[in-house]
């Protein structure tokens, strides 16, 4: 499994329309990257840093693919089409990272809240 993460770094001049991003850009992302094997999509709205202050990032998107080739195709071919939508929700230049998921597990909620 390969994850493509898109980070929108906070800065004082940053503009980010979370409503547009979560409604319109989410649908567009699913539609475009689905053509390249997208299996899961997560949109994170960053709310605080570890110390409770202003977060380093305003938002983060995680796109999951079965193979590196699919993620690479999505990055090269699909993201070019998504960048056209960028001015509709932000003035932040996104930072992209591809990573291989080496392990993953679900933690039962009764373990978290006991």
What pLDDT is recorded for position 98?
Answer: 93
pLDDT at 14 over 80: yes
Q: Are 1 and 71 in contact (CB under 8 A)?
A: no
pTM of the model: 0.84
Architecture per CATH, 2-100: 2-Layer Sandwich (3.30)
pLDDT digits (tens, 9 = 90+) for 51-100: 888 899 999 999 999 999 999 999 899 888 899 999 999 999 999 999 99
What ranges do the domains of the chain cover?
A: 2-100
Residue 48 is given by DSSP the state -
């Amino acid at each position: 499994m390969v994850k493509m993460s898109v980070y929108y770094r906070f800065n004082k001049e940053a503009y980010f329309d979370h409503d547009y991003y979560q409604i319109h850009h989410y649908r567009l992302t699913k539609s475009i990257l689905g053509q390249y094997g997208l299996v899961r999509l997560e949109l994170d709205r960053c709310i605080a840093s570890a110390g409770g202050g202003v977060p380093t990032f305003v938002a983060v998107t995680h796109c999951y693919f079965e193979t590196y080739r699919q993620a690479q195709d999505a990055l090269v071919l699909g993201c070019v089409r998504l960048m056209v939508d960028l001015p509709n929700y932000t003035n932040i230049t996104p930072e992209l990272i591809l990573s291989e998921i080496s392990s993953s597990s679900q933690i039962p909620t009764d373990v978290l809240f006991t």
